[in-house]
Amino acid sequence: MTSPRVVKGGLVEVDVTTGRALRTIALQYNPDALTRTVAVQAAGADAGQALRLKGVAVETLRLEAEIDATDRLEFPAENPATVEFGIHPQLAALELLLNPRATTLVDNDALAARGMLEVLPMETPLTLFVWSRQRVLPVRVTELSIAEEAFDTSLNPIRAKVTLAMRVLSVDDLGFAHRGGALFMGHLRNKEALAARAGSAALSALGLEVI
């Protein structure tokens, strides 16, 4: 009897113009917990404004993941990159989510050297956090903490715990015409559909008859 296939969570870098997936990072082990914080964007404290919203809620995500080379090192012939580098490649892929590419830095430096007074901030690919089909979210990775816990004889890391913090990007951040904005609207509509499935309890469940 075969075990059911377990879907993995992860991140996808997407080309904003073409929608092509540039890199997919699947978490080696699904984290035991995903912490979500949802903060309201209220219109203000003025009279008559208490029930008004100025935008969608700001959602932040945090998770802890493990990366371990032990299983791959048991079969060195099949995993030469792990033998040579340990988990450096996996860690580097995560770190690049927060960094501009080296070529972009060089290009901007060249523009500055030619007298460009204003160089536009560097734009990165769109990052999506995927946690099942129900949650495909445009995000900005805001924090990455890496605790390297074991090393091989060449001091390559072979086991690490990673803490990843992300902020969900909404249409307030990206606009409705942006590919990420469209993905966020799809997520919001899906959330509304799921909430409808929860139904509504009777007032009597709260000890009330009328309001």
CATH value at residue 19:
2.40.30
Domain assignment of residue 74, yes or no: yes
Q: Give how many domains the chain has, as a whole number.
A: 1
- pLDDT surpasses 80 at 168: yes
- pLDDT surpasses 80 at 25: yes
Query: CA distances (Å), 34 to each of 63, 125, 129, 144, 164, in order?
Result: 5, 24, 12, 15, 10
Is 26 in contact with 65 (CB distance < 8 Å)? no
Domain assignment of residue 162, yes or no: yes
**Residue 3 pLDDT:** 64
- pLDDT surpasses 70 at 2: no
For residue 102, which phi and psi values (nearest 5 degrees)?
-60, -40
Amino acid at 125: P
Domain assignment of residue 112, yes or no: yes
- Tokens read off for 46: 């003025």
Domain assignment of residue 73, yes or no: yes
Determine what percent of the chain is predicted with pLDDT higher than 70: 94
Domain assignment of residue 97, yes or no: yes
Average pLDDT, the chain: 91
Determine what percent of the chain is predicted with pLDDT higher than 90: 71
What predicted TM-score, i.e. pTM, was given to this entire model?
0.86
Per the structure, the complete domain to which residue 22 belongs is given by: 10-169
- Please report which confidence band the pLDDT of residue 189 belongs to, taking 50, 70 and 90 as the band edges: very high
Distance separating alpha carbons of residues 13 and 127, to the nearest angstrom: 5
Greatest Cα-to-Cα distance within the chain, rounded to the nearest angstrom: 75
**Residue 120 pLDDT:** 63
Domain assignment of residue 66, yes or no: yes
Is 100 in contact with 122 (CB distance < 8 Å)? yes
User: Nearest-CA neighbor of 33 among 73, 75, 63?
Assistant: 63
Distance separating alpha carbons of residues 146 and 137, to the nearest angstrom: 23
- pLDDT surpasses 90 at 54: no
**Residue 46 pLDDT:** 72
Find the mean pLDDT for residues 190-201. Answer: 92
Chain-centroid distance of CA 96 in Å reads 13
Amino acid at 155: L
pLDDT in tens, 114-153: 877 565 666 789 999 999 988 999 999 999 999 999 999 9
pLDDT in tens, 79-114: 999 999 999 999 999 999 999 888 888 888 888 888
**Residue 77 pLDDT:** 94
User: Nearest-CA neighbor of 111 among 98, 103, 16?
Assistant: 103
- pLDDT surpasses 80 at 1: no
For residue 209, which phi and psi values (nearest 5 degrees)?
-110, -45
**Residue 103 pLDDT:** 85
